[in-house]
Amino acid sequence: MPALEADPALLAKLDLSFGADRAALDQGLHEAEVMLVGNFESENLRERAPKLRWVQSIFAGVEKLAPSIPSDVVLTNGSGVHAPKAAEYGICALLMLNSNVPRFMASQRRRRWEPHFTPVIAGKTVVIVGTGKLGVALAAQARHFGMRAIGVSRRGLPVEGFDQVLPIGGLESVLPQADFLVSTMPNTPEARRRIGAPQFALLPKGAGFLSIGRGQAIDEPALIKALRSGHLGGAVLDVFEVEPLPEASPLWEMENVVISAHCAIDDLDAYLARAIDIFIANLRRLLAGEPLENVVDTSLGY
Contact 183, 213 (CB under 8 A): yes
pLDDT digits (tens, 9 = 90+) for 241-295: 999 999 999 999 999 999 999 999 999 999 999 999 999 999 999 999 999 999 9
What are the backbone dihedrals phi and psi of residue 247, each rounded to the nearest 5 degrees, phi first? -60, -25
Q: How far apart are CA 17 and CA 33, in angstroms?
A: 11
For 83-259, CATH gives 3.40.50.720
Which DSSP state fits 68?
Answer: G
Q: How far apart are CA 132 and CA 119, in angstroms?
A: 30
Could you tell me the residue ranges of all domains in the chain?
A: 2-80+268-287, 83-259
Q: Is 243 one of the catalytic residues? A: yes
pLDDT digits (tens, 9 = 90+) for 55-93: 999 999 999 899 999 999 999 999 999 999 999 999 999
pLDDT of residue 1: 65
What is the Cα Rg of the chain in Å?
21
pLDDT digits (tens, 9 = 90+) for 164-184: 999 999 999 999 999 999 999
Q: Where are the beta strands (DSSP E) in 68-146?
A: 74-76, 125-129
Contact 32, 51 (CB under 8 A): yes
CB atoms near residue 103 (< 10 Å): 16
Q: Is 262 one of the catalytic residues? A: yes
- DSSP lists the bridge partners of residue 268 as none
Q: How confident is the model at residue 2 (pLDDT cuts 50, 70, 90)?
A: low
Give me the percent of the chain exceeding a pLDDT of 90: 88
pLDDT digits (tens, 9 = 90+) for 15-24: 989 888 888 8
pLDDT digits (tens, 9 = 90+) for 23-34: 889 999 999 999
Q: Is 88 one of the catalytic residues? A: no
Question: What's the mean per-residue pLDDT of the chain?
Answer: 95
- Exposure string of 149-183, with b = 16+ CB inside 10 Å and e = fewer, is bbbbbbebeebebbebbbebeebeebbebbbbbbb
Residue in 194, 214, 220, 241 annotated catalytic = 214
Residue in 48, 103, 231, 262 annotated catalytic = 262
Residue in 41, 114, 243, 290 annotated catalytic = 243
Q: Do domains 2-80+268-287 and 83-259 have the same CATH topology?
A: yes
Q: How far apart are CA 102 and CA 119, in angstroms?
A: 16
What pTM did the predictor assign?
Answer: 0.93
Handedness of CA 138, 268, 68, 31 (dihedral sign): negative
pLDDT digits (tens, 9 = 90+) for 128-148: 999 999 999 999 999 999 999
Q: How confident is the model at residue 7 (pLDDT cuts 50, 70, 90)?
A: confident
Does domain 2-80+268-287 fall under CATH 3.40.50.720? My reply is yes
